Structure 1
Amino acid sequence: MGTSLAQWGPEMKLHLGCGSRILEGFINVDARLSGNVMVDDVKTLSLFKLGSVDLIYACHVLEHVCRHERSSVLDRWCGILKLGAVLRVAVPDFEKVIHLYQDGVPLENLIGFLYGGQDYDLNFHHYCWDFQSLERDLKNAGFTSV
């Protein structure tokens, strides 16, 4: 079925890589069509104009982007956000994964954080961050308050 941009009012909030988790009040974007999901590539977000988005929520999406494309993806996300808008991003924290392992959590319980679920073609992780490296990548893309 999908959804269209025409139904959205003045505030545009994107939920990227939503899968089956539909958030009320958001344009739910995913590479795979299901329910009220807008199909678009989260790397390009070709359906959205520069300076048109109020908020991007990308929870466990960025690590699915090829490491060589991460800078251009963050540049694009920064570009479609309005001045002063917000990016909420969550990625697996490599430092925390290491600490869990050192604290005795079995490796097989941590593999998904590093490599993704791998239950379909797009569910693979291509990069990982700790806070400092994510902060660096975000600032390089033009985000100012990290």
Structure 2
Amino acid sequence: MADIPPNRLIFKERLSGGFSNTKASGSLPDPLPFPLFLNLGCGNDIRDGFINIDLFNENPKVVYMDIRSLDLPNNSADLILASDILEHFSHRDTEQILAEWARVLKPNCEIIIRSPSLKKQAQTYLQGTWDADITSYMIFGGQTNPGDYHCVAFDKESLEKLFANVGLELVFYEEEETSLDRGFININF
């Protein structure tokens, strides 16, 4: 048996086994809470004080809703969190999806988006930190269910343009890098 590189071992050990293939079963509270905090495409990141929304999830608190067309009133959300989800949609759809999120956002409130950095992922591969398998997984997604594919990648300039096209302003941008030596890799804006 060939030696497995240390970064590959750490990568395999840190994988959670993917996401659920079970349709989410929660429903929106009536009336909606105030303030209204949304966690779109929450996956396993279930947050207290938020309405956690996803298509697939075994947690009964997760509301089943397609985040491309939110069943919520205009100007109703005080905060939208979209962590590691926008990259799962086609580049042809991201502007329309972001416009939909902006529709439900109250004026002067925030959308917080976390997404893998194309620049950092490419650098990590070219520096030899990731092999082709890890790079493919990180760039294209885990592919454990229909929603677990990455279809688009972003850098600062592409996000600024996308935001401007839907009337939003990118007010804070940060690229964060953690090494596989310190745990599961997470390269995000």
TM-score normalised by the shorter chain: which range applies? over 0.9
Match of 1:13 among 18, 34, 37: 37
Distance 1:5 1:141 in 2: 28
Please state if 1:100 is matched with 2:130: no
The RMSD of aligned alpha carbons is 1.4
Deviations 1:22-78 (A, max 9, x none): 100000000124320111101111x21110101110011001112111111011111
Q: Which residue of 1 aligns with 2:89?
A: 65
Q: TM-score when scaled to structure 1? A: 0.92
1:106-125 pair list within 5 angstroms: 106-125=131-150
Q: In the alignment, is the contact (CA less than 8 A) between 1:43 and 1:65 conserved in 2?
A: no
Matched residues, percent identical?
A: 29
Aligned partner of residue 48 in structure 1, secondary structure: coil
Q: In the alignment, is the contact (CA less than 8 A) between 1:15 and 1:27 conserved in 2?
A: yes
Match of 1:23 among 47, 60, 82: 47
Moved over 6 A (4+): none
Distance 2:68 2:43 in 1: 15
Count of residues in correspondence between the two structures: 145
Deviations 1:83-115 (A, max 9, x none): 011000011110001111121121212212210
Name whichever structure is richer in strand by fraction: 1
Q: Which runs of 5+ in 1 are unaligned?
A: none
Q: Which of 1 and 2 has greater Rg?
A: 2
Q: TM-score when scaled to structure 2? A: 0.72
Compared CA separation, residues 99 and 141, structure 1 to 2 (3 A): same
Q: In the alignment, is the contact (CA less than 8 A) between 1:32 and 1:39 conserved in 2?
A: yes
